[in-house]
Amino acid sequence: MLKKAFVISAVAAVLAAIFFLAPLLDKEERARRSEAEYVSMFKEVVDIVKESYVDKVDDKKLMTGAINGMLAALDPHSTYLPVTEYSEMKVHMAGAFGGVGIELDMRNGKLMVNAPIEDTPAFRAGILAGDHIFQIDGKPTKDLPINECVSRMRGTPGTQVTLTVIREGSAKPLTFRLTRAIIKTKSLKARLLESGYGYVRVAEFQERTGEDFEKALKTLAADNGAPLSGLILDLRYNPGGLVDQAYRVADRFIGEGLTNGDIVTTKGRDAASVHTLTATIGEKEPKYPMVVLINGGSASASEIVAGALQDHKRAVIMGTQSFGKGSVQSIMTLNNGDGLKLTTARYYTPSGRSIQAKGITPDIVVEFAKPAAAKTETEKELEIREQDLDGHMQEVPETKAPAPAKPAHPVLLPRVNGVGKELSEQELLQKDNQLARALELIKGVNVLKKGLLR
């Protein structure tokens, strides 16, 4: 009797398991069937297009278009990179390449020199801003895509390239035979605004940014003849870049033996993908007052730096609401050498705030005092933020996250290092009210400190 009851109980348990598992199994089967149906439908559409489209369709164009469409349906930052674009991206982020050292621009179909980079083959040969590069190795540049022109001028260091240049005021074209060299681009500029007060502007986080930043701080202190009394870190219009370099910049100011030295956390789809970058324990920059300038063009890695310094109360964040790109893109190399940039995680500041579609809210909001003239097309583009992009990822609700302020309209800054003479410190402060306010704040903090110590 007991054995019979046991068998009945076992059968009941199996039936119950089947009852509860059946919907799950059925759901998985439906998902597999649905995926197979969509793959079949995709192939059917491809066959119809190849058979019936008005013109013969190139297979590569059709397939890469399908890949681009698939990634675009995910979010604005996931994308397919053909090998040429992928290679160019890697060169750009490395901040070094084989070339002659010219900043280029295409104007009305003409390849123009914006400026030669100092201490490069082009600079030493005498190429000037405003020169029209008419030919590269005897081949005309008119109406060529600028990327094609750049590709022709770059190459293995030690090899040669000939540029034919038309210069205003010159009776005939000039020929320059240049030997390519390693050209290193700089992602930051540093200077003293006044005695004791340093200014570092980081344009983008490239492979050498962290190293260059540390050197810049040492140079500023050496030029000052004493430790700095304050620092302004300018991240306006910094679109981001490499996370490890943003971490290295923030690490100079966070973690002097503190138990909580978190700088940024990334969270993906599963628990195993959660990673936190924590500051190294050791000697940091002196505890001078610091202001970080941001605006609507500050995105991604620059928001990581601003958010970390804000959460650790190491700097005052000043300016306008940042862009709000709080997603992590992983770069993957495909079998054919092309690249895939895929969103794999979200960024969180040390306090747990999600940056995605929110951005960093300044401690002190200061609008840029723009001229009365109408905005340029570039300015209109810069007004767009992450939350305005079609298909952007939604932010993840965080209890610790403050409500974002209404985004302010960013405007163009006067160029710190434009073509021609660099602005003096006085001219720079006169043209940039946000920078002037930041300097006033730091000086005021120091005056207050001295008053309290008396």
The secondary structure element, H or E, covering residue 110 is strand 110-116
CB 245 within 8 Å of CB 204: no
User: Backbone dihedral region of 196: left (phi > 0), alpha (psi from -120 to 50 degrees) or beta?
Assistant: left
Residue at token pair 């590269």: 136
439 closest CA partner among 204, 196, 190: 196
Q: Which residues pair with residue 316 across a beta bridge? A: 291
- Residue 249: φ, ψ to 5°: -65, -50
Catalytic hit among 75, 251, 325, 358 = 325
Q: Could you confirm whether 137 is annotated as catalytic?
A: no
Q: Could you confirm whether 325 is annotated as catalytic?
A: yes
Q: Could you confirm whether 34 is annotated as catalytic?
A: no
Catalytic hit among 75, 131, 251, 311 = 311
CB 317 within 8 Å of CB 59: no
CB 99 within 8 Å of CB 116: no
Work out the burial of residue 13: count CB atoms within 10 Å of its CB; fewer than 13 is exposed, 13-18 middle, 19 or more buried.
exposed
Buried b (16+ CB within 10 A) or exposed e, 90-107: ebebebebbbbbbeeebe
Catalytic hit among 78, 187, 300, 354 = 300
Residue at token pair 């008419």: 134
Q: Which residues pair with residue 275 across a beta bridge? A: 266
3-state secondary structure 346-377: EEECCCCCECCCCCCCCCEECCCCCCCCCCCH
Q: Which residues pair with residue 331 across a beta bridge? A: 341
Active site residues: 300, 311, 325
